[in-house]
Structure 1
Amino acid sequence: MSDQARQPASRGGLAQWLAARIRSKLAAGVTHLTSGSGPMLDYSSPPGDPGLFGPDSVCWKVHADFTSMMTGGISALLLQALHPLALAGVWDHSSFRTDIPGRLRRTATFIAGTTYGNRHDALALIERVKRIHLGVTGIAPDGRPYRASDPALLTWVHVAEVSSFMTAHLRYVNPSLPVAVQDRYFAETARIAEMLGASHIPRSRAGIDAYLLAMQPELVASERTREVVKVLINAPAPSVAMRPAGTLMFNAGVDLLPDWAQAMLGFERFAGVRRAFARPGVRLAAPVIRWALVNGVSKRARRRVASARESD
């Protein structure tokens, strides 16, 4: 074969090598944000184990998109910080002020593990969190006692999370998701909250909206809340190259908040500017992140479930 004939193949091989390197670097930077804390979970075995929900569930679809889940997670943290008792528990018993990446990773591990993990690992994660909650007690600045195992507080934390995840999914993945399917998502995820000890959990879109409306009089934007905002704004990036992505994700998370929550947190002033760059920015970044995460946990879990069928 002549040198000229070999050159295209050589260039093709180089392009593939570069693409693989870029994908690997991007995947490492992204997964650094959500892995490395808590138990190591095996999403690939045992063969055929559907976990707590299985691949036909709505939560498997909603939780599969890293970008929307990341922005939704930031929005959820900001929303949760408006509840004085929920925030008191995090403030007194968590290292979030010095290790916000660790806090994000532990939350991400719990959500991924209970959604996609095998049944044993998912149940073990729930029991682990329940044990931790038993030791989280104290007195809030306003003099009220709190405990992380309080069913009402568990419901608040849960609703803040799942409502934010669904808002992100509707904005960045599937804006036309039918309300009936949204209801299925809220009903599915309520199982996890119930297993943790929550009570009176809303299980529909209408129920979630009514709950958030009813909770507004209990919420406060305190000095502690503003400190949480500062910590999230200044959260360290895994590399210099990832800092713009971190800024984008934070602003997209703020943009997901209900208008009343943005106003309480002092974000309403530049809401229009934020919307103008955050939404297009996330839509540009999302396909690249999906390309990089070719072997994410949802894909490994799907292969795990399918592997039993292939062996039949």
Structure 2
Amino acid sequence: MSDPRMMAGRGWPFDPTRPRRDFGFFGPDSPTWKVWTHPTALIGFQRAVTLEHFDPMLAAAVADADGIYTDPRGRMDGTLSYFLLVAVGDSRTATATAELLMKVHARATGIEPISGKRYSANNPASQLWIHVTGWHSVLKCYEMFGPGPLSPAEESRYWADCVTAAELQTCRPADVPTSRDEVRAYFDAVRPTLCSSERALRGMHYLLRTRGGRGRGRLWATSRALAPATIATLPKWMRTLGEFDQPAALDRAVVPAARAVVRATRSPAAMSRVVAGTLPMTRSVLQWHFDNPTAQRAEVVSPAEARERLHATPA
């Protein structure tokens, strides 16, 4: 995934040379656009992909695929650029990308070694865990290291947007939390099903501090720079379960430091420099987003309408 133009020619639906067709599912006045394009989303993303491993089925799928170890940059770049396209892309691109991802996930099946049960990357419960941890983590880091809490009206809309975005995955929209209280209730409900294992611990620690190697220097440095801030956002039980706790003094020190870095990287140009060379597809999506503030059709559409349009008309 090193060259966005090449990816567009290989079936990746995003083409950075095309103008924005519409405002996607949320639009420029939405808190979703504001939160997902803020520098704090990088910390939130590291948080989310780390927490995914608490789902034993997802931990098995990641371990069997081995992609985060053989191509960590490509895997992380593809995942974050997907979330971004759903949040800020035009509806056709976001829908086509989601459908491509589900086809890829359909091949990711196997046996979870501890329970002996069959896993599937497209399983609705696992997809819900990915979805909720992603949207919650990005908002949590926006609040903690960025501008602070959204207004009550913005937060209500943010969680409504989260439900809308879930329509692009296999999870049932009716199961998606619609408020902060429902997010807490969801975490309480799934906590007994979460666990860690040797494979899960390996994945979590690798994502927090990715190993170096040829072409991985910036990813090595970025993951380590983000890790203390990421861990500072997590409750004690998650740190204990994941065996990556850190001293309270480091928690206190990292918050103002992270806020200062975030303020320094808030401009689109600064954000582009931060991800350049580390997450090229993500950089391309962000650059396209900032370069296309208007749309050919100034409208917001639903995922259902987007799917109908996608399959009714050629690109």
Distance 1:35 1:153 in 2: 31
State which structure, 1 or 2, has the greater radius of gyration over its C-alpha atoms.
Answer: 1
C-alpha distance in 2 between matches for 1:226 and 1:285: 28
Q: Structure 1 residue 150 and structure 2 residue 123: aligned?
A: yes
Please name the residue that 1:218 is paired with: 193
What corresponds to 2:289 in structure 1? Answer: 301
Q: CA deviation at 1:160?
A: 1.2
> In the alignment, which of 160, 163, 185 is matched to residue 136 of structure 2?
163
Root-mean-square deviation (CA, aligned residues, Å) is: 2.9
Moved more, 179-188 or 161-170: 179-188
Structure 1: runs of 5+ lacking an equivalent = 1-31
Task: Give, in whole Å, the separation in 1 of the partners of 2:162 and 2:142.
Answer: 15
- CA-to-aligned-CA distance 1:196-236 (integer Å, 9 cap, x gap): 11021112211111101111111112111210133221343
- SS in structure 1 of the partner of residue 187 of structure 2: helix
Aligned to 1:24: none
- The count of residues paired between Structure 1 and Structure 2 equals 277
Question: Matches of 1:137 and 1:157 in 2, distance apart?
Answer: 16
User: SS of the residue aligned with 2:28?
Assistant: coil
Distance 1:221 1:165 in 2: 23
Task: Note the alpha carbon deviations across 1:120-157, whole angstroms, 9 max, x for none.
Answer: 21111010011112111111012011111211111111
Q: Which residue of 1 aligns with 2:212?
A: 236
- Whole-angstrom CA distance in 1 between matches of 2:19 and 2:126: 34
Secondary structure of the corresponding residue to residue 97 of structure 1: helix
The answer to whether the 8 A contact 1:139-1:145 is kept is yes
1:174, CA displacement in angstroms?
Answer: 2.5
1:181 maps to: 154
Note the alpha carbon deviations across 1:233-261, whole angstroms, 9 max, x for none: 13438676775543220221122222221
Amino acid at match of 1:75: R
- State the SS of the aligned residue for 1:227: helix
Q: 1:47 to 1:166 in 2, by over 3 A?
A: closer
Could you tell me how far apart the structure 2 residues matched to 1:144 and 1:241 are?
Answer: 38
Distance 1:136 1:206, change over 3 A: same
Residue identity over aligned pairs, in percent, reads 26
Task: Write the distance in 2 (CA, Å) between the matches of 1:133 and 1:288.
Answer: 37
In structure 2, do the counterparts of structure 1 residues 52 and 78 end up closer, same or farther at CA, with 3 Å as the change threshold?
same
Structure with the higher helix share, 1 or 2: 1
Maintained 8 Å contact 2:61/2:109: yes
Match of 2:62 among 59, 79, 90: 90
- 1:37–1:68 Cα change, 3 Å: farther
The superposition leaves residues 243-298 of structure 1 with CA deviations (integer Å, 9 ceiling, x where unpaired) of: 55432202211222222211211233x23133133222212221332244376645
| Structure 1 equivalent of residue 98 of structure 2 | 126
With 208-217 and 174-183 compared, the bigger mean Cα shift is at: 174-183
Provide the TM-score with structure 2 as the length reference: 0.78
Matches within 5 A, 1:35-46: 39=12, 41-42=14-15, 45-46=18-19
| Secondary structure, aligned partner of 1:53 | coil
- Quote how far apart the aligned CAs of 1:89 are: 1.4
Select the residue among 235, 250, 253 that pairs with 2:230. Answer: 253
**Counterpart for residue 276 of structure 2:** none
Gap change, CA 1:152 and 1:101, over 3 Å in 2: same
- Contact 2:146 2:259 (C-alpha < 8 Å) held by counterparts: no
Unmatched segments (≥5 aa) in structure 2: 273-282, 299-315
Alignment partner of 1:103 is 2:75? yes
d(CA) in 1 for partners of 2:79 and 2:144?
A: 22
In 1: Cα distance, 2:28 partner to 2:161 partner: 13
Q: Residue type of the partner of 1:217?
A: P
Structure 1 contact 68–168 (Cα < 8 Å) conserved: yes
Contact 1:183 1:204 in 2 (8 A): yes
Shift of 1:110: 0.1
The 3 A distance-change label for structure 1 pair 287 and 239 is: farther
Q: State the partner residue of 2:257.
A: 281
